[in-house]
Structure 1
Amino acid sequence: MKIKLFFLIIFTTQLFSLTIVLNSAKFNDKPYAILHIKDSEPVDCKIAPQSKNKKIYLCKFNKIINTPIESKEMPLVTIDFLEKKKEFYVRIEPKVHSRLVETKSPLYLVDEVSSIKSNDIKNQWSIFLYDKIILGKKPLNENINFPIHYPKNIKPYIGALDLNGAPISYVQSKDIELYVDLKENFKNKKYNKVANDSIDIIKKYPNTIFKNEFILYRLKAIDIGLDTKDQRITKNFDPHDIIKEGKAWMKLFPSDSNIPEILMLIAKSYLKIGFKADANYFMDILISEYKDSLYTKKAILIFADSLYNNDEKDKAIKLYLDVLYSVQDLDVAAEAAIRLSDKEMNRGKTDQAKTYLLKVLEANHEYLLQDIEGSYRLAKKLASNKLYDMASKVSDTLLHDLDVDYKNREEIVKNSGLWHAKANEIQNAHDRLKQYLEEYKYGIYRDEVQASLDELFFELNETNETKLANYYDVLIDRYPDKIGKRALVEKSKLLLSQKKYKDVLGMDSVLKSIDEDNKRSNQVLKAASALVVLNLKDDTCTRAISYMEKYSLKIEGFDKSKLFNCLITTSRFKQAKKLSEVEAKNGTLEKRNIWMQKHLLSLYKLNEHERVLNMGEDIVKMSRALKIEPSDDTLEMIFFSLVKLDKFEKAIDVAKRIEKSSGNKFKNSDIYIVIVKKAEEKRDDLLLSEYANKIISLQKKHKNYIYTPAVELSLIAALQRLGKIEDALVVALDLLDKQISNKEKIRVYYNAGELSMKLNKNSDAKKYFEKCKNIKAESSWKDICKQNLSLL
């Protein structure tokens, strides 16, 4: 038996702790391989059967990778790596026979070995890959299978260790109880008790594993007590204590996960005592070593506060923004947003203040409940800056679950109603003020609240709020008197400011009815004018002119050039003439020249051809003075007016001028076809031939054959009359290559045959007459073809 073994590790990829290894070998020159998949976490490998004797294996890992892994193509197997949502898959597609095997743990790691298949997901699998079976099948032993026990070989076990690597013993658990009590006291804001108890516990249990936590809570309690000016704290402690104990804590616990919080407390304390350089030192440590820590972000906010208070406001705002848009924690983000809102109000930037506070209200409004007094102060500040909608939202958040006995609740309810009213949130204001009257029947603000309810409408002077429209509808339905009428007018103003112009026009009749003189409302006229502007901009001329005529709008205030174009488009030629006549007399020479050409167009549309020629002559002279060429459109109108007035020779001169300035424009064919027809009438075959050829050339150049075959047939006839039979035949044959109808082909074949006969090419003539005769269409030319065939 010849065995060649060569174990080749194809690749080992570390996806956290995932390892994939392929070992390959040969047995009697038969290649095989074993693919090992191993992870520290459970791996779910399943078989996905395909066609006969073909399998695909999918192994799923509940993790994602940051760096893509390329597929691996090998002689026996293809391995792909897939990522879907938060899961990672390895797809194994064998090219040979294969078998999936659960790789169990080594015997010394278990105390019981069983052949019964486990349903547990393993963390190690193997796939056997082979082209041909290298060893015979073992006979299956179907005897009863008993588990094998190894009671004397239990694997070694080491329990929990403390920070020094020594086993932890919980013979006495009093320190645990004290730790839990301390946390509870901190939660209940008993900061003085926390500050004192923590030291007592450490003295009693100097080796407690919670020593770091006891000191941490002590420092946090002292910090909060100093912030809130708790006299029990301020009497015994100051920021120096936090700095001193914080530094000592860091020496005792240099690898503790709470270091960022301690660094923050130390930096904050240095700022309190005005040691900015020392504060900067600890801030640098936080930012460089704990960049993404929440306490780093909190420290930045505290540092920004100190900058702001020292008139470095722009730097402070930048830091607040950095925290807001970089932190993942909602509470810290809310803290940054509230600071920004507060500071921006101080700077008079109320729009930005509103934007930042909206982020809190939309994403984490519960944060406001952590400091009800502070949040209420913020609400009053918002109101003082006329951000009534934001103030009302903050007050609503505070009132949602606020204890009925809270000291300022009555004032908050009252102000909430007033702020809603000033924010044009009519229903909310009404409900909140009603709530006050119901809950505080003898409240100190009762008269003020009642007056606000009665005069609610007259206090709504903020017409730029979106909810005003709904409120006006309520008033319109509720009051048919002057309040309802005023609501109608205010609603039309609001809709106009919101650019809802069609809604304003819909109020035209009702607004007329409430006017003493039954005049059209200014709001309606403004809305109609705005719609004219929009439609002129979009070149929707019919609508623009319709609004102008329906609402009797004057042309002042509109884009007169666009308006003129729309008047022409909608066949309002007289109005266009009037407008252009006025504009052509004003402004610079350049502007007058432009409007003279527009005026020329209106005259042309009104068939005032004599005036077109006079105006055209003035335009040509002015253009010469301006050293510019008249537009082709202007020259074309002069040309057609000359034709209409039967001044054909002058028209030819204009046509030549047009050809000289823009000979390749396809539009010129419209001029040339007129010349062709006139030449045909006058039997001027030379002129006809010249311009017919120009049309044919333009059509070929632009691949547009609108005048085919008429122009070619006219040219053929003219060339015949001029005795240019061969040229006429060339035109006829070229025409046959174009897409024309069968009837037209009959005539062209007739012409080709007749021209061939004149050139004594009877065989060609016969061929053309035959084709003429065989076309399946009725035509008198077809009969002539048949007659000519009989003659031939």
Structure 2
Amino acid sequence: MRYWIALSLCLPLFGLELSLQSGKEEGEKYSILHLRHTTAFSCQATNNEFGETRRVDCRFPTAPKQTFSPIDNGLLSVKGSSTAQGYTITILPKSKMTLFPEVFDLSKESQTYQSDVKKAKHWNVVGYTKTLPLITLSSPTASSINFPVKVSKNIPPYVGGLDLKGNPIKIRRVQDVTDYMEMKKAYAAEDYNKVLDRAKNTLQEYPNTVFKNELMLYQIRSYHQLGEYEKLLELSKRFLREYSGDTSVAEVLAYTANAYSKIGQILDADYFFERLFDEQIESPFASLGMIYKAEQSESSGDLKKAMQYYQKALGSTSDMAVASKAAFKLAQLELVEGNTKKSAEYVDKIATVNPNYFSEVYDKAMDMAEAFMNRKDPKTAARITEALLNNTDKKLDKHQLLLKNLGLQLAKSGKRNEALKRFNEYLDSYKYGEFAEEVRRAKDGLFFEEGDKNATKGIKKYDDLIERYGNDSVGRKALYKKAQLLLKEKKYKEILNIESDLYRLDSAEYPETNAIISKSAIGLEKEYLKEGKCAEAMKLQKMYKIKLLSEWDESLFHCAIKTTQYANAKKIAQKHLKSNSIKERQVWLSRMVKTQFGLGEYKEAIKGGNELITLLGVEKNPPLNDIYRTLFDAAQRMGDGEGMIRHIKSIEASFPNDFKDIERYTQMVSLGLKRKDEALTQTYARKVMALQERTKTYTQSPYIEFTLAQSYQNLGKDGDALKVLRTLNARKMINEKRSRQQYLIGAIEQKLGNKRQAREAFNASIKADKNSAWGKLAKDALALF
């Protein structure tokens, strides 16, 4: 049993009206919310993963002057809110709800059909608990048809005029024929807006004209040409309903499918494509539809499917225009796929059968010609350009552009005489034209001469051509010839100075460009290695990744070590470690150890050094005794005191009293201090002092003197300590160090009971630097006297 319980709410809000009604059906409550407005508005349902509506938002461009409080009747919750875009009413269900638009006014319209609209003036939201009341909804099947349902009834019969015998009088409407003919002329003249106006007026004046289907067809065609797809669809659906047997159905199906495709309604588009291909496959418009279907696939990124439909269209049509369009599209896609040769085949078909088609797609044809030039196929580019040129009036500006392009393309194709003919034609027709200078340069390029046999004159000539023509074809060729000549003359640096210009040359047109640059880099690196310019040589090797023959390994290794590129040095040395020659292995093993040390690989360096010592035991090679120094340094880095002691003795034996080892002796002093080994400390401290005295170079003072003096004091040898400290009297020292020296002398003199000498030393300490810690200690010491 259905009945209304109450009218819960009716709110007129200045153009917006809300009405909430409640009822029961078979004992189950439901509510219906009506939303009405004077202008159409949108309501959008949000569904969950089970297809149930969980929210409805109705949006209005402006907020009502009168708002309402939130509504909650147990089935629906309704509230309004202002947003930056206008006003929104949000409806939430307590259990379930469904949104319906009210599209048709049955008091005014004679038929209805299922319509999925985005906007309406009246929307219904039904809230319920389990089952949708009042109506039954079912999902449409794939084979269902949306027939319109006529609800008009009792339409009175109509009888036209009769003659005396009672037969209908046939009255000829002359004006609608005239309008129809004018409309066709307008369409032929591509005045599509006039077509639409004429068709609309004729249908209004003569709604029952016998030309109604033709008028509608021309409207559809015009909307198609103008790209007004929404209007096309509105009309084409009427046409297909009312004239399903018309001979133009295939054409309308093609335009309808294309229109849906253009507005992004792909499922609807595919429906009409299927109808076209299933029902009208023999029609010429089926081939056109295949092109539209291909364009749809192309837009979605499915190039493979697009090509299949273009090929079907090309293979099935006898219409030259459709075939040309399909072939052109295939040529475009083959270019995208990188199939230049296949693309050129399609271009040749168009150029042979329908060359004027290129003019119909002028901009795209120009782009295609340029693409073929970029793909090194100037021959095909010239075919396109020649077809465009032959169909272009000489009075048009684009004529000279096409003529210039054709000349350049023919020149690139190697057709020198034909290119010269086109260049001369341009210069005769457009002596002061926009491209006259470019054409003259191209013409000069046809007659490019080889360089002079005299290198200096040849280079000057190329420089003149480069300066005159810059980065055009003549200038580029001159640059290439100049580089070849410079390489021949072994002027490597000059070639590398123009390297960036050479890299801009087309490698296909100038195939030796990279080889010229590589040979120049190799030649220049060899020169640098011979001259000992290591930084420059290693920079070139890194920049150009140069690989020289093994005869250059020694020079490269020394330069790598000199520039601290130990990783490179290691790679070079590695190649020689398995040589059959003991001497070669000794040399490269020594180099490898130094490299490993430079990389901080001290364990590996020690291992390699020990191997080298073994080889040196087999065959002496005194210049390689330097390995002991490397081993000592590695042991020092590793904190291996035993190794340091072992290797310092080998150093002393191989290089006695060599000042190069003074820092190693100083490190032995530090080792003695660490071990509290006074003998070790004193032994190497004295060696350091002896080396300094012999060379008059005091790099380790006063550290070494202070250390030795302290060691003597540790053993009670104050007199020896005093002697060592007094050696510093002749050295230049900073004030703080001098203050320290004098304080230490004073302290020893005081210990020895020499008060006067002690006082003198303490005063000297204060004088040297009274603010230092040593000066302050000296002052305190004087206070004890």
- TM-score w.r.t. length of structure 1: 0.41
Instruction: Look at both structures and tell me which one has the larger radius of gyration over its CA atoms.
Output: 2
